[in-house]
Structure 1
């Protein structure tokens, strides 16, 4: 495999295992969130960007995104500075930074250490500290009860598109599908030849490896996926075992 393909494999996607949601059991309640509209139009650019020598590839969609890991927060030092979306950072607003979720995505963040929850809007990039998956505003961190500690283990769940009302934003329930077809997505390429190269390499070890085309904003990407299981729990266990071989891969459903 070429160095270019290996670089895509290592850097595309997120730094932990995630899972896709889509059908039977509800795991997020309908919530009213008193969030005002963005001060500026959110950029929806999916262009890769590089920080500290590492390249990140924003996801074309947040649909079905679930992730667990460490959250941190940033405050006064950055207050008023521009974020990746173009908005000035407001430490008193419910916002957050994420490396690859689309800007403008709303996510439910649950502090797994105390059960507190908050909904935030992704308007910045980061954190770029190894092992951390989301950087919260001061207001969000205070809501989760993690200001003094500085970091906490959290679960983040991308919410369905919100509907604005005079009370705030209303988000619909996100169901979790326990049965289906589950795959580990290990790469995504605009160059089809690179996708074929990776599939051939993976096929030497795995029985079923697929290339799935996906079109976003006029651009076609080719996702390379390894079939894992028809049961979500089994797929999660297998994905965890493959984490060392594919640190940037994530779990998706068909």
Structure 2
């Protein structure tokens, strides 16, 4: 199924023959075509790719939620198997029709090209030239099913396949058994998507963090809040929207999740926060948990 998705993994191999074995092996099940990654994780990798032994009900896994990105994109040129790739700097208007594949157990728990751990039950994808991260809508043109995935990996690197989806995404699109499907891939503008699908969307996380009082707490609840590290998951003009997100996050992390209002100019923003957290390590683990659950990438804040 998957070929290697990013040069760092392939370059570790000592010979061309070894590289071809590790980066171009065909799967026994399915027909995925790539796996990327920076450096591999310490988890042992199965010899062959395929579906998981435990089949989770993927209909209960939500699509990725397009979230405005506030950091640097990964879009530098790179070389794999002797071919040079030049990623596009903006993938919002991307549109391409072609063959999609998927990748699964062989790369589960391994680092993706974006530095995240690949989760075969996450709604993610690999692409050769889209900036990382990006969001795309993938339509299976054979049955009309659609999913939204977060592109966080590189590949596929052999044949004419244009995108490599996670096992869960392929399962939701109805082609995990046959291995490939004819699809339409369309880039998504996260800001426009939020404005269209979230009537309470007001500001990006970056705008909130730059506000002079964004890290402060209102006078009323101060006595009930401990000092320390917190994760801010989102900020809304609507308290109802913030409460809805609080409940979703609560169901994922199981810790203390609360809504903190703050005045920014003439507006009141309702911030959804998790904490206090015991350490930076706990914060990193929780950020990864929320990312895999398609709840965005929280901002770490300190309450003094």
TM-score w.r.t. the length of structure 2 is: 0.41
Larger of the two Rg values belongs to structure = 2
**Bigger helix fraction:** 2
TM-score w.r.t. the length of structure 1 is: 0.49
By relative contact order (CA 8 Å, sep 6+), the higher-ranking structure is 1
**Bigger strand fraction:** 1
